[in-house]
Amino acid sequence: MSKLLADAEAELYSADPDGFTARRAELAAGARDAGEPATAKHITALRKPTRSAWIVNCLVRSDPEVRSRIEALAAELREASAGARIRELTAARARLVDELTRAALRELPAPPAALREEVTATLDAAIADPQVAASLGTLVRAARYAGFGPVPDGGFPPAPPPKKTRAPAEHETERADRRRETIMEAERALAQAVQDAEALTAAERDLEDAVRRLEAELADARQRLAESRRQSYRAESRRQRAARQLSRLRE
């Protein structure tokens, strides 16, 4: 990653999202002027974060220990096998998420409940999902983990193995397993739908910003065109007067 791109990411994902689109255009133009068209293209492709994603990005960028604490707890959860240890780490996970949520929202005296919920869900997902953890600092939307317990390297708990016997108690276990799998699938589908909706909302905001910018540029261009036509009309009038005066002098 070039220094210009790294600096652009650091600035854009730390600054208030309301000025994201305009500043992104300025930084991309600066990269082009610096002779780095590929960097300019990468900067232009950076996506505007939602408010909750921006809050988490600011927390991670302002405190380098946040990322390391999340990664350390995630590693412990993946390696845990004993029930007592899992319960201990699950409690630690809840405490860490609560602590980081309060730290992220400390500058907001009365944050909306929906905003708090998205920040909490994103931090919890960062512990559970390595992909979310890797995106901390440049998140573009809130994240949500749909699953249970500690997360293995694959991202979701493995499905239980099929039963070989057909004892009544095991029949009940199979039904419980299938029900749990169905719930997990539904939760994953819900989480994906929420993420898709947030992505589309962010894209809509980007397009609205682009439309407003283009409308402003069009209005400015029309104003310059009108002024150019006035100047052209005055120049033509002066030319005609000068031609008539010259004609009279030659008579």
What's the number of CA atoms in the CB half-sphere (13 Å) around residue 131? 7
Q: Which one, of 3, 52, 16, 88, lies nearest residue 96 by Cα?
A: 88
Per-residue pLDDT tens over the stretch 198-237: 667 766 777 777 777 787 788 878 888 888 888 888 888 8
> Residue 188's pLDDT is what?
62
Instruction: Locate the domains of the chain by residue range.
Output: 3-45, 51-210
- Annotate 90-120 with b (16+ C-beta within 10 A) or e (fewer): eeebeebbeebbeebbeeeeebeeebbebbb
What's the rounded Cα separation, in Å, for the pair 158 and 154?
8
Per-residue pLDDT tens over the stretch 49-102: 999 999 999 999 999 899 999 999 999 988 887 778 888 888 999 999 999 999
What average pLDDT does this structure show over 116-129? 93
- 192 close to 156: Cβ distance less than 8 angstroms: no
What average pLDDT does this structure show over 113-138? 93
Given a cut of 80, is residue 14 above it in pLDDT? yes
Given a cut of 90, is residue 147 above it in pLDDT? no
Cut 0.85: pTM above it? no
> Residue 151's pLDDT is what?
41
What average pLDDT does this structure show over 28-44? 93
What are the structure tokens assigned to 11, written together?
């600035």
What's the rounded Cα separation, in Å, for the pair 149 and 135?
22
Q: Which amino acid is at 72?
A: A
> Residue 105's pLDDT is what?
94
Q: Which amino acid is at 246?
A: L
Res. 158 pLDDT band, cuts 50 70 90: very low
What's the rounded Cα separation, in Å, for the pair 39 and 111?
36
User: What's the distance, CA 87 to chain centroid?
Assistant: 32
Res. 162 pLDDT band, cuts 50 70 90: very low
> Within 10 A of 143 (CB to CB), how many other CB atoms are there?
26
pLDDT > 70: what percent of the chain?
79
The residues near 156 (Cβ < 8 Å, ≥ 6 apart) are: 147, 184, 188
Q: Where are the alpha helices (DSSP H) in the chain?
A: 3-12, 20-33, 37-45, 51-62, 65-79, 83-104, 113-128, 130-135, 168-250
> Residue 249's pLDDT is what?
85
> Residue 160's pLDDT is what?
42
> Residue 237's pLDDT is what?
85
> Residue 67's pLDDT is what?
93
What average pLDDT does this structure show over 125-138? 92
The residues near 131 (Cβ < 8 Å, ≥ 6 apart) are: 155
What average pLDDT does this structure show over 28-39? 93
